[in-house]
Amino acid sequence: MDFIYSTLTTSRQPEKAVEEIARNLHKEPGLVLFFASTVYSFEKLTELFKQKYPESQIVGVTTTGEIGPQGYSESSLSAQSFSKSFGKAQAVLMKDIVKYPIFDRGNLLQAAQSIGIKVASKAIEKEGLGLVFPVGLKAGEEKMLSVVNSIFHYDGFPIFGGTAGDDAKFVTTKVSVNGDITSTGGAVIFLKPVIDFYIHKENIFKSSGKQVKITKADAEKRIVYEMNNRPAAEVYAQMIDVPKNELGKCFALHPLGRKFNHDFLIASPFEVKPSGEVEFYCQVYEGAIVDILEPKNPVLEMEKTIVDFSSRFTELHGVLGCNCILRKLQFQNEQLFSKLNTQLSILPNLSGFSSYGEQLNKSQLNQTLLLIGFGKLRME
């Protein structure tokens, strides 16, 4: 069964780009995802996809780099379609994930139930999954995840996603659902597939052996004021052995790590503030003890990822990926795209984008690659 198709184009003219995309997707899909560089008018693409697939669920996301069948790309349009035989899909547009995310709770509940997800099930992990695509630059991902998870009576509903980008301009990001666009909200897609799925999280960092305690922070604003009872930037620079005025150039290779199940949940610094505090891409909590991380070899880690991920399946129909912007910038600086794409292109019907944050279940992550594969899992 051809459950999933993926494709990518670098044609800049919107009408031509969508026509090229459509030739390689299902004619009447149940769901279409598209991931667009800011070289395109997102409004025009949203309109064209809606015209092309009037009976489908359609979700679009602005990016900071795209992922297609051949791997990482830029200044392009990537898309993925899911056949009606794949299962049921229902998308919801959340209008404001910062001030009023709770206002969309009723719509989320109705959407999940409309495709047969039993929100009160004790085995909620077997009821389906959710894809989430929040807008970026609003610090609303954690609130969005909290509201989505709140519709379920028990923990464990699988959630996978990535934050919209704007090609590192850091001005405005956008998401669309069935023709409607938001720059303050996000998209949620509930899926009830007839085939298996598996989520893989790739981390290319390890502990440096150094730890700090977060002694003053505002989690809501994602700002750390003090580490070890001293100005955050001063301590951070000392820990990674660089002058304080060069910290902003160096800390992407030394994010913070929160230990979780023998792995790290990564919190990446966004910028150093003039008065010495550090802003992050996700919430960092006062009182937390965190590791200062250092990089592993990205190419070797990708090779391990592809082997481990592929070996989980006896049949793999398609893969969706969300890759952090900071990983993308690192790969650019180290000229690794060609080697990494040699590995990524092994995966069938690959699509996705580079993001301003990654979402896994209840957590907002940074500097992570998330892959979700759909197919038939190998029996353990």
Burial class (CB in 10 A: 0-12, 13-18, 19+), 243: exposed
Beta bridge partners of 73: 66
The predicted pLDDT at position 303 comes to 98
Q: What are residue 79's DSSP bridge partners?
A: 7, 34
Report the candidate in 157, 223, 176 with the shortest Cα–Cα distance to residue 43. 176
pLDDT, position 249: 87
pLDDT of residue 47: 98
How is 105-126 classified by DSSP, letter by letter?
HHHHHHHHHHTT--TT-TTGGG
* Beta strands per DSSP E along 229-368: 230-231, 256-260, 263-267, 269-272, 278-280, 289-295, 313-324, 350-355, 358-360, 363-365
Query: How long is the chain?
Result: 380
**Tell me, what's the pLDDT at 374?**
98
pLDDT for res 189: 98
Question: What SS3 state is found at 362?
Answer: coil
Give the distance, in angstroms, between the CA of residue 110 and the centroid of all CA atoms in the same chain: 24
Distances (CA, A) of 35 to 82, 334, 352: 15, 25, 7
Tell me, what's the pLDDT at 261? 80
pLDDT 10s per residue in the chain (380 long)? 699 999 999 999 999 999 999 999 999 999 999 999 999 999 999 999 999 999 999 999 999 999 999 999 999 999 999 999 999 999 999 999 999 899 999 999 999 999 999 999 999 999 999 999 999 999 999 999 999 999 999 999 999 999 999 999 999 999 999 999 999 999 999 999 999 999 999 999 999 999 999 999 999 999 999 999 999 999 999 999 999 999 988 888 999 998 888 888 899 999 999 999 999 999 999 999 999 999 999 999 999 999 999 999 999 999 999 999 999 999 999 999 999 999 999 999 999 999 999 999 999 999 999 999 999 999 87
- Using DSSP's 3-state secondary structure scheme, residue 311 falls into helix
Q: Which two tokens stand for residue 285?
A: 């909590």
User: What does the pLDDT read at residue 262?
Assistant: 80
**Cβ-based neighbours of 83, under 8 Å, separated by 6 or more:** 1, 2, 3, 4, 26, 29, 30
Q: What is the pLDDT of residue 80?
A: 98
What pLDDT does residue 251 have? 84
* pLDDT of res. 252: 86
User: Can you give the pLDDT at residue 260?
Assistant: 80
- Which pLDDT score, from 0 to 100, does residue 379 have? 87
> Where would I find the H helices in 172-279?
232-239, 247-250
- Cα torsion at 356, 358, 363, 367 (round to 10°)? -80
